[in-house]
Amino acid sequence: MTTAPIRPTTAQDDAPQLSSTPTDHRGLLDWVRRTALLTQPDEVVWCDGSQAEFDRLTAQMVAAGTLLPLNPDKRPGSFLARTDPGDVARVESRTFIASRRREDAGPTNNWREPEALREELAGVFSGCMRGRTMYVVPFSMGPVGGPISRLGVQITDSPYVVVGMRTMTRMGEQALAALAPGTTFVPALHSVGYPLVDAVGRRREDVPWPCNDLKYVAHFPESREIFSFGSGYGGNALLGKKCFALRIASVLAREEGWLAEHMLVLKVTSPEGRAFHLAAAFPSACGKTNLAMLRPTLPGWRVETIGDDIAWMRPGPDGRLRAVNPEAGFFGVAPGTGWSTNPTAMRMLERDVVFTNTALTDDGDVWWEGMTEQPPAHLTDWRGRSWTPDSPTPAAHPNARFTVSAARCPSIAAELEDPEGVPIDAVLFGGRRRSNVPLVAEAGDWSHGVFMGASISSEQTAAAEGTVGRLRHDPFAMLPFTGYDMADYFAHWLSMRERVEHLPRVYSVNWFRRGADGRFLWPGFGENSRVLEWICRRLEGSAGARHTPVGWVPAPGELDVAGLEVSPADLEELFAVDPAAWLAEADALQEWFARFGSRLPADIEGHLELLRWRLSPLVARPAAPAPA
């Protein structure tokens, strides 16, 4: 069967809402119809992902004050959006997993009883699009038609979200064409929750950033459905990303024997021309984008970017774990991105970008903390207020972000478009840790590696609501993103032993360790290539390692620090394993793991015991009292 060509309904056609239906997919048509009846938009537009559609929507948002066009001489094709100050990050407290059985969501998710939540959502969504346009946004996560790829359709009343989905996913005509009648897709319903007409027909003015204090980011993993209400921002609203590619996909992955992960994917090529593929999980705003786009300071090494946030990894026919990045763009943290820290990203951001919650310069460009050493003398801050370097608050919101197509990234790898994915040689786990965790350590084997992933703690960032800087357990950097019980997720990772013949090696890394004076001990960024080099040399079997209770670290002289201004004392501290501090860490882990009860895999408990067993003899014992 063929689908009719897409003919987007425009504001000029005020024919009945569903006069133009460019698909024969009955399930999709029914869902769109039912949703329009529930939410009562003025019109329905099927999105085709074209440039003309993008131009129309951005012009409309400029007129509405949602987007500010940036100076075309400074930042061609780019816009700035300022959100409502209450809609700046993911809302974990309003993120729900509605599985039939509470225990299937596990103790780390907000569980809701599916039928009760469905009722509640029906009430919330009822009439929520009055006075607005409802957009139907077909998209593919992964190359359209690829064996690992999946289709979704988002319904949204936010043109900002439509534009974001066009950058972040394969959105539009091709994805819809792939939705042949009977094809399964993930339905994702989104509304900013700000109707312009109330139940009795009274109209109100729109605002530049409509949203609602009441928010829901709701998932029904068993029926693979997503509902999001009240927010227009990031992972709350671009539903292909965290909601689909992580929370729903993690459930599919478990059922089907693969992995859906919060990981960057990169290709690193040695001076001898040997290519390695690495995947790395760090919690939100902990350096995935930076590592994915790293410019090596070590001569002869090259890094190419495949993904910066999400990896779908499957056992391949070659017995290796093969990864794709299901996304097509980057929704990255702006603050901290500068010419000295991430020149590749700076070049990527030169044109065709939608910035959100950055500051605005007086000549119509963007700025954020960390872009330049000296801030401009005057700015307009992310809230639209006049700002000078003396102002008490940051000019850009700490979770200000850019939305940009992967095609704009100078280090993008051709493999991004390979539907079969790349073979993963090593998996890295990291977090933001001012103490304890060494710069790099290699796991002894797969189950030790899974224990490393399960043990990640990290200082919280501005990427979600909560207290910035507070240490929290964030296993596999997936705490907010696993759609089922986290202990079952650990077991699923362990089960890859039986599914993958040539498993990747596993490493823990930490760029964020600090000295007693509070400064970072490691220069980070491009210098992290030295750590990648050691990892690659380990993979080829040519680098030496020394055993510690927390894994294998570079043997003396094996990490290339030539030309680095890191003192021998700092270098020692970067790898120091303080047994007392680590025993306390083991206690904290045990207490945290206790919530999983008997669902916690024995391998994880075993590795915790092994860690204690290795540490205990190292703790200095008080000297025996002298005989009287």
Query: Taking the alpha carbons of 226, 467, 435, 611 in that order, is the dihedral positive or negative?
Result: negative
Among the listed residues 328, 344, 346, the one whose alpha carbon sits nearest the alpha carbon of residue 405: 328
Distance of CA 188 to the CA centre of its chain: 18
| 28-36 contacts, C-beta under 8 A, 24 or more apart | 28/153, 28/179, 28/185, 31/153, 31/155, 31/187, 32/136, 32/155, 35/134, 35/155, 35/189, 36/134
Q: Which span sits near ligand GTP by CB under 6 A: 211-219, 241-249, 288-296, 544-552?
A: 288-296
From 32, 259, 463, 608, residue interacting with ligand GTP (rule: CB under 6 A): 463
Altogether, the residues listed in the chain come to a count of 628
From 87, 308, 381, 425, residue interacting with ligand GTP (rule: CB under 6 A): 308
From 87, 157, 309, 415, residue interacting with Mn ion (rule: CB under 5 A): 309
Among the listed residues 136, 154, 164, the one whose alpha carbon sits nearest the alpha carbon of residue 66: 164
Q: What DSSP assignment string belongs to 570-591? A: HHHHHT---HHHHHHHHHHHHH
Among Mn ion, ligand GTP, ligand SPV, none, partner that 99 touches (CB below 5 to 8 angstroms by kind) = none
From 284, 357, 358, 458, residue interacting with ligand SPV (rule: CB under 6 A): 284
Catalytic residue from among 47, 211, 286, 409: 286
Nearer Cβ to ligand GTP, position 434 or 599? 434
Burial track 443-471 (b if 16+ CB lie within 10 A, e otherwise): bbebbbbbbbbbbbbbbbbbbbeeeeeee
Burial track 401-438 (b if 16+ CB lie within 10 A, e otherwise): bbbbbbebbebbbebbbeebbbbbbbbbbbbbbbebbb
The residue whose Cβ lies closest to ligand GTP is 524
Nearer Cβ to ligand SPV, position 260 or 577? 260
From 289, 455, 460, 510, residue interacting with ligand GTP (rule: CB under 6 A): 289
- In this structure, are residues 571 and 553 in contact, taking their beta carbons and an 8 Å threshold? no
Here's the x/- map for Mn ion, 266-305, by CB under 5 A: it reads as ------------------x---------------------
Residues 324-363 that bind ligand SPV (CB under 6 A): 331
Amino acid at 101: R
The whole-angstrom separation of Cα 416 and Cα 97 is 30
Interface with ligand GTP (CB under 6 A), residue total 22
- In this structure, are residues 373 and 389 in contact, taking their beta carbons and an 8 Å threshold? no
Residues 603-622 that bind ligand GTP (CB under 6 A): none
Residues 496-525 that bind ligand GTP (CB under 6 A): 511-512, 520, 524-525
SS3 163: helix
Nearer Cβ to ligand SPV, position 94 or 242? 242
Nearer Cβ to ligand SPV, position 475 or 551? 475
From 57, 463, 608, 611, residue interacting with ligand SPV (rule: CB under 6 A): 463
Nearer Cβ to ligand SPV, position 477 or 535? 477
| Smallest distance from ligand GTP to CB 283, Å | 7
Among Mn ion, ligand SPV, ligand GTP, none, partner that 77 touches (CB below 5 to 8 angstroms by kind) = none
Write the DSSP symbol of residue 130: T
Nearer Cβ to ligand GTP, position 290 or 358? 290
Amino acid at 39: T
Cβ count within 10 A of residue 10: 13
| Smallest distance from ligand SPV to CB 382, Å | 16
| Smallest distance from Mn ion to CB 430, Å | 13
Among ligand SPV, Mn ion, ligand GTP, none, partner that 234 touches (CB below 5 to 8 angstroms by kind) = ligand SPV
The whole-angstrom separation of Cα 406 and Cα 603 is 39
Residues 202-241 that bind ligand GTP (CB under 6 A): none
Nearer Cβ to ligand SPV, position 6 or 324? 324
The whole-angstrom separation of Cα 376 and Cα 388 is 8
Q: Which span sits near Mn ion by CB under 5 A: 2-10, 187-195, 306-314, 330-338?
A: 306-314
Nearer Cβ to ligand GTP, position 514 or 612? 514
Bridge partners of 80, per DSSP, are: 68, 355
| Smallest distance from ligand GTP to CB 138, Å | 25
Q: What DSSP assignment string belongs to 219-266? A: EETTTTEEEEES--SHHHH-TIIIIIIIIIHHHHHHHHT-EEESEEEE
| Smallest distance from ligand GTP to CB 370, Å | 6
Report the number of secondary-structure helices (H) and strands (E) in the chain.
16, 32
User: For this structure, is 286 an active site residue?
Assistant: yes
Among ligand SPV, Mn ion, ligand GTP, none, partner that 195 touches (CB below 5 to 8 angstroms by kind) = none
Q: What DSSP assignment string belongs to 327-352? A: -SEEEEE-TT--TTT-HHHHHHTTSS
- In this structure, are residues 485 and 472 in contact, taking their beta carbons and an 8 Å threshold? no
Query: Does residue number 261 form part of the binding site for Mn ion (CB under 5 A)?
Result: no
Phi-psi region of 594 (alpha: psi -120 to 50; beta: other; left: phi over 0): alpha
Among the listed residues 525, 405, 552, the one whose alpha carbon sits nearest the alpha carbon of residue 54: 405
- In this structure, are residues 605 and 596 in contact, taking their beta carbons and an 8 Å threshold? no
| Smallest distance from Mn ion to CB 309, Å | 4
Q: Which span sits near ligand GTP by CB under 6 A: 124-132, 149-157, 270-278, 284-292?
A: 284-292
Nearer Cβ to Mn ion, position 381 or 474? 474
Query: Does residue number 157 form part of the binding site for Mn ion (CB under 5 A)?
Result: no
From 286, 324, 478, 521, residue interacting with ligand GTP (rule: CB under 6 A): 286
The residue whose Cβ lies closest to Mn ion is 309
The CA radius of gyration of the chain, in Å to the nearest whole number, is 25
Amino acid at 193: G
Q: Which span sits near ligand SPV by CB under 6 A: 23-31, 233-241, 569-577, 600-608?
A: 233-241
Query: Does residue number 90 form part of the binding site for ligand SPV (CB under 6 A)?
Result: yes
Give the footprint of Mn ion on this chain (CB under 5 A): 284, 309
Give the footprint of ligand SPV on this chain (CB under 6 A): 90, 234-235, 241-242, 284, 309, 331, 463
Give the footprint of ligand GTP on this chain (CB under 6 A): 282, 284-290, 308-309, 332-333, 335-336, 341, 463, 511-512, 520, 524-525, 528
Catalytic residues: 286
